[in-house]
C-alpha cells in the first residue's frame, strides 16, 4: 500500500463491505500505476482482493519451464525457472562486472557511464538489442576469448554457482 499522507482522524469513510481490491487481467499488463503514466483509466471490471487465501494445490501450475529474460548471458549461463525466486539484479558485484564487460566491448553501441551505473538509469533493452543484432557473433566469444572466460567464471563465482558443475571442488573455489 502507500503512505497515509492527507488522511486525518475523523475523516468520512464509506464502507463498501468488500476487501481492498486491485484491477487484474490484460488491462494491467505493461502498465505503471503512478501519476505520470498518462495512459488513461484502467478497465476495473475484473478485480482481485489484495488479501486472499492461497490457491489450492490442484490449481498450481507444475510444468517446469525457463523464464526468458532476453539477456543472452543470463538465459544461457544462469537460466531461471518460471515461478521461482530470481535474484538476478540483487548483487552489485555481478551487475558491475556485467556492464563493465559490455561497456568495453560495445563502446560505440551501448553508452554506459559510471554516472548511469550509480544512478540506476541503465536500459537493459540496449544490451539485448546489441546482442541480438549480431546473433551468436555478438557474444564476443571469438573476438575476446580470454575476457569471455574470465567474465564467465567470475559471474558464476559471484552468483555462488559452481563453474563447470564440479561439486568435488567446492571448497577450492574462491569468490
For the chain, state the CA radius of gyration.
22
Which pLDDT belongs to residue 20?
84
C-alpha neighbours within 13 Å on the C-beta side of residue 108 = 0
d(CA 101, CA 86): 22
Mean pLDDT of 54-65: 81
* Bridge pairing between strands 66-67 and 80-81: antiparallel
At 108, the pLDDT band (50, 70, 90 cuts) reads very low
pTM of the model: 0.31
Task: Show me where the domains of the chain are located.
Answer: 12-52, 66-166
Those residues whose C-beta lies under 8 Å from the C-beta of residue 124, and which sit 6 or more positions away, are 70, 71
Note the pLDDT tens digit of each residue in 131-154: 667 666 666 666 677 777 777 777
Note the pLDDT tens digit of each residue in 21-41: 888 888 777 776 665 667 777
Amino acid at each position: 500500500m502507500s503512505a497515509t499522507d492527507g488522511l486525518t482522524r475523523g475523516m468520512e469513510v464509506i464502507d463498501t463491505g468488500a476487501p481492498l481490491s486491485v484491477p487484474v487481467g490484460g488491462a494491467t499488463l505493461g502498465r505503471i500505476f503512478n501519476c505520470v503514466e498518462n495512459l488513461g483509466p484502467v478497465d476495473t471490471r475484473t478485480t482481485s482482493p489484495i488479501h486472499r487465501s492461497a490457491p489450492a494445490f490442484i490449481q498450481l501450475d507444475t510444468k517446469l519451464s525457463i523464464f526468458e529474460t532476453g539477456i543472452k548471458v543470463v538465459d544461457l549461463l544462469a537460466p531461471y525457472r518460471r515461478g521461482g525466486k530470481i535474484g538476478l539484479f540483487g548483487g552489485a558485484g555481478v551487475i558491475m562486472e556485467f556492464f563493465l564487460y559490455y561497456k568495453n566491448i560495445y563502446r560505440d553501441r551501448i553508452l554506459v557511464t559510471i554516472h548511469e551505473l550509480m544512478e540506476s538509469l541503465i536500459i537493459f533493452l540496449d544490451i539485448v538489442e546489441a546482442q541480438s543484432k549480431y546473433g551468436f557473433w555478438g557474444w564476443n566469444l571469438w573476438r575476446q576469448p580470454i575476457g569471455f572466460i574470465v567474465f564467465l567464471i567470475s559471474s558464476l563465482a559471484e552468483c555462488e554457482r559452481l563453474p563447470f558443475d564440479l561439486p568435488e571442488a567446492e571448497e577450492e573455489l574462491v569468490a
